[in-house]
Amino acid sequence: MKKTNAIILILLLFIASCHKDNPPPEPNPDELGKGIFIINEGNYNSGNASLTYYESETKKTTNQLFYKQNNAPLGDVAQSITVYGERAYIVANNSGLIYIINRKTAKYEGKITDLVSPRHILFIDDNKAYISDLSSSKLTIINPQDFTILGKIEIGRTSEEMLKIGDEVFIANWSAYNQSKTNNQIMIVNSLQDILIDSITVGIEPNSMVIDKNGMLWVLCSGGFENTEKASLWQINPAERKVLQTIVFPDINNSPTALEINKEGDRLYFINQSVFRMSINETQIPTEPFIQGVAELPYAISVDKQNNEIYLTDALDYTRDGLVYRFNPEGQILDTISAGIIPGSIGFNN
């Protein structure tokens, strides 16, 4: 009887051990926590671009991350970063290439070369992406899986930011470099056929675009670096190619940049010396800043679409290592992040 009871006890203990919850896996110390990639452009022809990583939960900052992980410099004038899938794509403008890194480790996975003056990358799908160009009238088509160039799209003008709406891609003609035409167009490309199909005239130097909750396209135009005309904000129905309203900035010296939108798609943000915020229902440029007196030289702004936190980069004097400020949705500062020279584009690694 005692032997039988002992066997039963052993069996019960074995069964109980089988039902214990497996302990959670230990975090990989080599993997990056949830946070943001910060592209530090560096100075023109100096080859001092760099990558900073900021973990939003621990507030840990790692500068020179690309160099530390890959024992190689990032290049000359890093323009933008796009996180897609398990990778992050870093566009090095003056180096004419794109570096591809693992989003969890920042380890090098490949590069795309033989580009003229790349600015931004837009993913059409898992197997196709477009690259805009500061000085070429052609978009470059790439395969983001094997890092090969698939072809070119002649659009007749230089290109900057891009947005995909349905099967159409809207492309801002920001730069007048290498073109005799006025840089005041939004070109439209059919992404199924990879051809230019239309364009919309806006203000001079359209530098940034967003889509609101109603599917309307907003375009911010600086008016030109020589103050050719007053800056303007355009609301466009992209399906009908119809301009719904044009909001003109009051001062010819205003040169707004970095249009952003919140996760709900009903509030716009932009930089005009300070940070301004406005509803998509407003018809005038706000007169009072939303955030001011924090950054010495406000340079770029990004809004986290998960929690509406705002990141504002500060280029300082373009030579010192810059800063990035983190704000809650109400504009209250949460943290100050040390970065590299001219912090600009931010990639969310959530």
pLDDT tens by residue, the chain, 350 residues: 444 444 444 444 444 444 445 555 555 667 999 999 999 999 999 999 999 999 999 999 999 999 999 999 999 999 999 999 999 999 999 999 999 999 999 999 999 999 999 999 999 999 999 999 999 999 999 999 999 999 999 999 999 999 999 999 999 999 988 888 999 999 999 999 999 999 999 999 999 999 999 999 999 999 998 889 999 999 999 999 999 999 999 999 999 999 999 999 999 999 999 999 999 999 999 999 999 999 999 999 999 999 999 999 999 999 999 999 999 999 999 999 999 999 999 999 99
Instruction: Decide: helix, strand or coil at residue 13.
Output: helix
Please give the model's pTM, rounded to 2 decimal places. Answer: 0.91
The number of beta carbons lying within 10 Å of the beta carbon of residue 288 is 8
Give the integer Cα–Cα distance in Å for 27 and 31: 8
Cα atoms found within 13 Å of the Cα of residue 180, Cβ hemisphere only = 0
In the chain, the domains with their CATH numbers are 114-201 (2.40.10.480)
Burial class (CB in 10 A: 0-12, 13-18, 19+), 183: buried
Q: Are 80 and 60 in contact (CB under 8 A)?
A: no
224 contacts 208 by C-beta, under 8 angstroms? no
Enter the tokens of residue 271. 């930089």
How far apart CA 223 and CA 43 sit, in angstroms, is: 25
Which one, of 201, 90, 219, lies nearest residue 163 by Cα?
219
Cα–Cα dist 324/254, whole Å = 23
272-to-163, 222, 250, 256 alpha-carbon distances in Å = 22, 10, 12, 4
Tell me the C-alpha distance between 32 and 35, whole Å.
Answer: 8
Please answer whether residues 86 and 102 qualify as being in contact, where contact means their C-beta atoms are separated by less than 8 angstroms.
Answer: yes
Under 8 Å between Cβ of 331 and 338: no
